[in-house]
Amino acid sequence: MTLIQYGDYFYLYVLMIALIPAIILGLLEKQIKYYGAFLSILMVIAIMGIGKIFPLFLLAEIILIKGYFILRKKTDNKYLYYFALICSMLPVIIFKISAITSERSIGFIGLSYLNFKAIQMIIEIYDGAIKDVNILKTLYFFLFFPTLSCGPIDRSRRFEDDLEKNIGRKEYIDDYLNLGIKRIIRGIVYKFIIANLVSALWMSKIPTDITFINSLNYMYAYSLYLFFDFAGYTAFAVGTSYILGIKVPENFNKPFLSKDMKEFWTRWHISLSKWFGDYIYSRFVLNSMRNKRFKNRFIASNVGQLLTMLIMGAWHDLKWYYIIYGLYQGLALVGTDIYQRKSKFYKTHKKQKWFQYIQIVITFHIACFGLLLFSGYLYSK
């Protein structure tokens, strides 16, 4: 029997028992990382079962990361870097393509999130930001179970800094235990109560006939369901991580109160949008400006936004409605950028409260329509 991570009350019961030793260690001002690593191994086995694919993936990525780190100290050859980067991406590329050609017989829970970790490390090794690759710490970074299936997407250097931090009793109680418990409670309320109620009492009762009214109804229901479900199990992940002494980044910050789509992507799935922003968008724009591909930085930025969101859509899956979703989000960002730069009306009223409230309402509907595209509801027949 395998556990369903953040999927039911049984997992929550197991989790609460498993966290008791971590809490005791924290209160005694002892290092939690050794118990956390041991617990992560047990939980990964309980969630995934004992198979061959995940250990092979883990071994291959660790060898690749350590091997490239050794080679990078000797050379900054770009072709070697590109080769290592492509190799780090291969598992998720094969997984996505296999959905088109077969029934997706390969893959495992959390493959995409784990692949983000490997890609990030290869990029930062090339940049020189990672000064050392400790195999045991890297293994723990990959195996850290709270973020296994759904993120948030952490960075290796930040994670290792937390591992080495000595946490006093008062700091552990105030900044780790209390905050962790609050987030777990938030996860219970969001996922097991609000999301379930939205699904059972609203979303499941919408007729399957695709009409304007039904689609509008489903758009609101699905957007709220997805937020509370996703933010719920993310809150579980963050809360569990805190109790284990690791402050993983937050993933949601009241996204439906955003005043524009650029702000929305700083509030929704924050760790994913920051990852794509840091490793795709920013690098594309800087490289384009350096090589003078476009007339000015605004065009470079807009092309970068479109490219980044298209890749994000494809990352979710290679189904065509995810590609449309990515294109839609890219166009929404480009449209927002052009409007804010060129509209005198916006510049005149952007600081006025009434205008900001209107912006929130409009942005909410732009975001919700994007989530309707993402849901696949419009293509269900």
Q: What is the DSSP string of 98-124?
A: HHHHSS--S--TTHHHHHHHHHHHHHH
Q: What is the DSSP string of 12-38?
A: HHHHHHHHHHHHHHHHTT---HHHHHH
Do the beta carbons of residue 57 and residue 108 sit within 8 Å? yes
End-to-end CA, the chain: 35
The b-or-e profile of 55-75 (16+ CB within 10 A means b, else e) is eebbeebbebbbebbeebeee
**DSSP code at position 251:** -
CA 299 → CA 257, 285, 312, distances in Å? 28, 9, 20
Do the beta carbons of residue 204 and residue 58 sit within 8 Å? no
Q: Is the pTM of this model over 0.85?
A: yes
Alpha-carbon distance of 13 to 295, in angstroms, equals 58
Q: Which residues are catalytic?
A: 316
Print pLDDT tens along the chain (381 aa): 678 888 888 999 999 999 999 999 999 999 999 999 999 999 999 998 877 788 999 999 999 999 999 999 999 999 999 999 999 999 888 887 776 665 555 667 888 899 999 999 999 999 999 999 999 999 999 999 999 988 899 999 999 999 999 999 999 999 999 999 999 999 999 999 999 999 999 999 999 889 999 999 999 999 999 999 999 999 999 999 999 999 999 999 999 999 999 999 999 999 999 999 999 999 999 999 999 898 889 999 999 999 999 999 999 888 889 999 999 999 999 999 999 999 999 999 999 999 999 999 999 999 999 999 999 898 866
Distance of CA 15 to the CA centre of its chain: 22
